[in-house]
Amino acid sequence: MIRWHYRTIVFEFQKDGLLGDRFIDDEEVEKTLNEQGRHGWELVSATMIQDGLLTLLKRLDSETDVPVSVSPGHDDQSVQPPPIISRENDSSTAALQQREKTYTEDLEQQRKQAMEEREQCLVGEIRIR
């Protein structure tokens, strides 16, 4: 079974002087996310909140041993997640990276298609059902 570990990080707004605009320090965000990536964490989402930027990261639990199938309710069964390959098999790294790239491209295509379908149902900001 696949098991994930999750982590949240909040990047708080910085102020430019006493009355200045609030901003997110993009260098801090980049440095922190790159550091987390080196430790196996993958950025899943980033959301603006009242206090700043909330990020959600995940990484695979080291005890995971079985590939996952497409989640229930997923419309397109043609896209399967890439198989999990033992970390001990370094010769398969390139093949794994290619499968992950293909999987990611398929998911991105599905996302674009879903967004296009959603936009067809909108007139301005009004959703037509």
The SS3 of residue 15 is strand
Q: Kindly state whether residue 68 falls inside one of the protein's structural domains.
A: no
Q: How many CB atoms lie within 10 A of CB 79?
A: 14
Same domain, 57 and 85: no
Do 83 and 105 belong together in one domain? Answer: yes
Domains contained in the chain, number: 2
- Domain of 85? 77-129
Each residue of 32-61: pLDDT tens digit? 999 999 999 999 999 999 989 999 999 998
72 belongs to a structural domain:
no
71 belongs to a structural domain: no
84, 110: one domain? yes
- Render pLDDT for 82-103 as a digit per residue (tens, 0 to 9): 555 455 555 567 777 788 888 8
Q: How many CA atoms lie within 13 A of 65 on its CB side?
A: 1
- Let me know if residue 1 belongs to a domain: yes
Residue showing tokens 């909330």: 54
How distant, in Å, are the alpha carbons of 7, 11, 20, 46, 60 from that of 56? Answer: 6, 11, 28, 6, 14
The pLDDT value recorded for residue 129 is 57
Assigned domain for 3 exists: yes
Residues 32 and 3 in one domain: yes
* Residue closest to 82 by CA, chosen among 64, 73, 72, 69: 69
What's the one-letter identity of residue 66?
A: V
Give residue 73's pLDDT.
46
